[in-house]
Structure 1
Amino acid sequence: MWGKLLGAGFGFLFGKWLGAILGFYLGHLFDKSLKQDFDKAGGFQGFFNGDDLNERQALFFSSCFSVMGHIAKSNGRVSEIHIQAASAFMDEMRLHGDERKEAQSAFNAGKSAEFSIKESVSDFKEAFARRYDLLQLFLEIQIQMAFSDGHLAAKELELLKLVSKHLGIGEKHFRFILKRYQAEFKFRQQRAHWQSQQQSRSSGNERQYQHRTHTPQPPSEVSEAQALAVLGLEQGASDKDIKRAYRKLMAQHHPDKLVSQGLPEHMMEIAKGKSQSIQAAYEVLKKK
């Protein structure tokens, strides 16, 4: 970035607009070379190979954690809940050693006053411009961080809208994604509570038998309205609407497809978790 700006500036001084164009191009080559040198020295490229797919995966990884850090700091200080949420992400991705340190470094970089969320998200958008499902998942992960304490502060909402804007996601669709995630958050909480109760009631032998014979279903108190909201639908949706929404969401969050487009394999568990919530909501609606 700085190479392009400085190159254009010096070029204009010596050759007006033609010099500025040439300087901008030379600066772009410098920035690209500098980035490659940085990648070779370590950074996220230290554990992603150097081909195009893995470069995109490294960018997804670093951008994701740095923007998460910026959102966590939006209220002036990073709360213990946000730190725990970031650690939970790292645990879910099974990050250890140098990989975990890199994630922590990116998270801390996002907390810096010098961090530019516009530049970070715009660079991300440029790299994944034709991979809309990944852009949406990136936004969903940021919403998950902001919502980790159970509510959305005004400054967090403002930043999420900014992220959505720089990703090229319209305001109407942003509201749809936000509303659906809030429903998913409550749905997961309720299912986790029920599963915890089931485990505490079961003896060791009974639990093994149940595991062999069937998968426990969600509790009856999970309402049709809750399950519909997870699929982004409202009361009165037809069976056809439900099936169409279910298939669309499952396609958007299919882990293997997302990884092939640039989602780091470390983050596959996040996509799996979202797919499981969509599947569970659909199973509730099938039984109504």
Structure 2
Amino acid sequence: MVFDHARGQLTSFLEKVLSAVGEAAGSVLGRVVEAVRTIFEGDPETRKQVAFSVAMIALSAKIAKADGIVSRAEVDAFRQIFEFPESEAAHVARLYNLAKQDVAGIEAYATQMATLCRTCAGGPCQILDDVLDGLFHIAKADGLIHENEMAYLARIAEIFGFDKDYFERVKARHLHVGGTDPYDVLGVSPSDDFPEIRRRYRSLVSEHHPDRLIARGVPVEFHAVAHERMAALNAAYEAIEKERRAA
């Protein structure tokens, strides 16, 4: 989950965090955040990777519960993002269930996870963009995004520091009700000239290239979502290009 060549290390990473958290029920959020900060204080790169994994596991649990039902499709979507050996399943499942049952609400989790990711990256970091994309992937896994889930996603985006226009672009990549508007996906306007649209497209492709995700410490297993994001960007650009050529 953390790095492809470090699969064996993830178990020990989560074991350390969960050992520090303990078995007590109730509010575990503070204990999880403090454990990640303390255990990996001298290793900011590992802390960044663990922070991403913890954020995705915890917020995935909260989002899956937002509509009142944790569906099998949502759990499967989570496992698609985090392919992990069965030897690690118990640790991942324990953290997932702790977050799902925690008395702390989703806003508290989003706030603390944003702080944790920013702290480990030295400032606002693009990892939060990857987390938001992953949460959309899970929320839509059962065929629709419930209004409660959408409200939570919007609030998480706000807490992460993304403006409304940015949130709408992310939503456009994932929701195809009535057909996708390719201009919304790329964050451009039909009034923009094509060279400007092409520059925007190339910038987005560069920003979201899988190599960039690796550099940000995003686990290889998360690239299923990254490829879905790239496919949406490519399809939007091709649709606009085809439309402009026809015109």
> Residues of 2 paired with 1:283 and 1:132: CA distance?
29
Compute the displacement of 1:281 (Å): 3.6
Distance apart, 1:285 and its partner CA: 4.0
CA positional deviation for 1:236: 4.7
Native 8 Å contact 2:169 2:186 kept in 1 = no
Task: Find 1:274's aligned residue among 219, 222, 229.
Answer: 229
- In structure 2, what is the Cα distance between the partners aligned to 1:33 and 1:253? 26
Residues 266-275 or 143-152, more deviating: 266-275
Please give the alpha-carbon distance, in whole angstroms, between the structure 2 residues aligned to 1:150 and 1:234: 29
Q: Does 1:95 find its partner at 2:84?
A: yes
* 3-state SS, counterpart of residue 94 of structure 2: helix
Name the larger-Rg structure. 1
The residue number in structure 1 matching 2:55 is 63
1:112 aligns with 2:101: yes
Alignment partners' CA distance in 2, 1:65 and 1:96: 16
1-structure distance, mates of 2:90, 2:188: 40
Aligned twin of 1:123: 112
- Matches of 1:54 and 1:284, distance apart in 2: 40
Shift of 1:64: 0.6
Give the letter aligned to residue 122 of structure 1. T
Amino acid at match of 2:210: P
1:265 matched to 2:220? yes
Q: Report the Cα offset of residue 180 of structure 1.
A: 3.2
Cα distance in 1, alignment partners of residues 36 and 136 from structure 2: 34
Where do 5+ consecutive residues of structure 1 fail to align?
A: 1-30, 40-49, 188-224
CA distance, structure 2, for counterparts of residue 34 and residue 237 of structure 1: 45
Is 2:145 aligned against 1:152? Answer: yes
Deviates more, 1:274-283 or 1:157-166: 274-283
Identity of aligned residues (%): 22
Residue 103 of structure 2 aligns to a residue whose secondary structure is coil
Aligned partners of 2:170, 2:61: CA distance in 1, in Å? 21
What does residue 81 of structure 1 align with?
Answer: 73
RMSD between superposed Cα atoms in Å? 3.1
Q: Could you tell me which of 190, 197, 201 is aligned with 1:242?
A: 197
Structure 2 vs 1, CA of residues 261 and 282 (structure 1 numbering), >3 Å: closer, same or farther? same
SS at match of 1:65: helix
Output one character per residue of 1:35-71: Cα deviation in whole Å (capped at 9) or x when no partner: 42xx7xxxxxxxxxx7311211111111112111111
Give, in whole Å, the separation in 1 of the partners of 2:182 and 2:151: 28
CA distance in 2, matches of 1:119, 1:269: 28
1:131/1:261 CA distance change after superposition, 3 Å: farther
2:155 corresponds to which residue? 162
What is the CA distance between 1:146 and its match in structure 2?
Answer: 1.4
Amino acid at match of 1:56: K
SS at match of 1:128: helix
Alpha-carbon distance in structure 2 between the residues aligned to 1:263 and 1:131: 15
Partner letter of residue 243 of structure 1? R
* C-alpha distance in structure 2 between counterparts of 1:53 and 1:143, whole Å: 26
Higher relative contact order (CA 8 A, sep 6+): 2
